[in-house]
Amino acid sequence: MAAPAARSALRIGMIPADGVGKEVLPAAQRVLESLGSLIPKPEFVPLLAGWEEFQRNGKALPDETVRVLKEECDAAMFGSVQSPSHKVPGYSSPIVALRKHLDLYANIRPVSSVPGTPGKDVNMVIVRENTECLYIKKEELRENADGSKTAIAYRQITSNASERVGRMAFELALRRGAERAAPGAAKTFWQGPPKVTIVHKSNVLSVTDGLFRESVRSVKENSGGRYDGVDMEEQLVDSMVYRMFREPEVFDVAVAPNLYGDIISDGAAALVGSLGLVPSVNAGDNFVMGEPVHGSAPDIAGKGIANPIASVRSAALMLSSMGYTDAAAKINASVDQVILENKVATPDLGGKSTTNEVTEAILKNL
């Protein structure tokens, strides 16, 4: 997105949705409220969506939520959604629908370890195509003559969607390379020129994954030299998973179709200790929505022990995507300090602290 224009207020739609989303989104709001002059005064617009909303009113994504986001908000934060594992007539995931309504065609998920903490050295970003693949949710169940059943799912890959998410990945690689080369930039684990890894399985799915692979490759090949300084490689999705856990330091920016991106980004969270640490944004050309990678965690919902860090980092990533890089850097530095000190941690990181205690520690650093 372009650099921010001068404005008196920053209107942010807040959609806690289900489960722990109601506990971690308030933490992100408190952090955003603490930034002072680094951002325009934030104004928060509470909005409804989710499984619980569907149970109350029969619609997981109210039309009013979509209208307000499109007409009145500069950005948004989404908490988590608790979707049933079985088919429920009339229900579909509100987060998938929001991505389509707002044309948020890329899900950007950084996975970075904090220098000085145990574990592998990792500083990569997974860019997940956000609008198609199997997530178009076209399925059918057929009754066979012998009484058995056949379930069929349709997968959609288009050159347009693949090229634009590929372009976002290459632009992100360029920006990361420039940030690493900037005077006074903090040292990172990544060495060498920026790199984009195209993740696919075109050796088996030669038509759909073949089109994704060819389309993303064409972004660099037809860029008129813009991406000459960005290395490009390919990785089959199964070997990507293997290498990601064995040697995550070899990856910079990875771009993948929707399903693969979902799986590898959740798996990559294990490299840094917990899903509760990993942020994301759903991004398009004109709007951005922060979303922690973790789900609704019904086993701990309401207990006050959900890790707020993924939500707080998602707020930082939202600000960075809008051009408020100083504010984002300040938030991330505060979170890094909390992780490094290791005095306050929620149970997913082996601690006994509450959501509020971790939030207070982040705010104290700010």
Q: Evaluate whether residue 132 is within a structural domain.
A: no
Q: Are residues 305 and 361 in the same domain?
A: yes
Could you tell me if residue 286 is inside a domain?
A: yes
Write out pLDDT tens, residues 53-104. 999 999 999 999 999 999 999 999 999 999 887 889 999 899 989 999 999 9
Q: What pLDDT is attached to residue 179?
A: 79
Q: What is the pLDDT of residue 2?
A: 47
148 domain residue, yes or no = no
Does any domain span residue 251?
yes
The total of structural domains in the chain comes to 2
Give me the phi and psi of 234, to 5 degrees please. -125, 155
Mean pLDDT of the chain: 92
Domain that holds residue 332: 6-109+277-365
If asked whether residues 162 and 267 sit together in one domain, one would say yes
Tokens in use for 49? 């969506």
Percent of the chain past pLDDT 70, that is, above it, reads 95
- Say if residue 216 is in the same domain as residue 303: no
The pLDDT confidence band at residue 281, using thresholds 50, 70 and 90, is very high
Q: Is residue 281 part of a domain?
A: yes
Between CA 37 and CA 336 the distance in angstroms is 22
Cβ neighbors of 94 (< 8 A, separation 6 or more) are 17, 49, 50, 53, 60, 61, 81
Q: What is the pLDDT of residues 16-47, one digit of tens each?
A: 999 999 999 999 999 999 999 999 999 999 99
Q: Where are the alpha helices (DSSP H) in the chain?
A: 21-33, 51-57, 63-72, 94-101, 159-181, 208-221, 237-246, 258-268, 309-321, 325-341, 355-365
Q: 144 in a domain, yes or no? A: no
Residue 29, pLDDT score:
98
pLDDT per position as a tens digit, 228-268 = 999 999 999 999 999 999 999 999 999 999 999 999 998 99
Out of 243, 272, 301, pick the residue that ends a domain.
272
Q: What is the pLDDT of residues 140-171, one digit of tens each?
A: 999 999 999 999 999 999 999 999 999 999 99
How far separated are the first and last CA of the chain, in Å rounded? Answer: 26
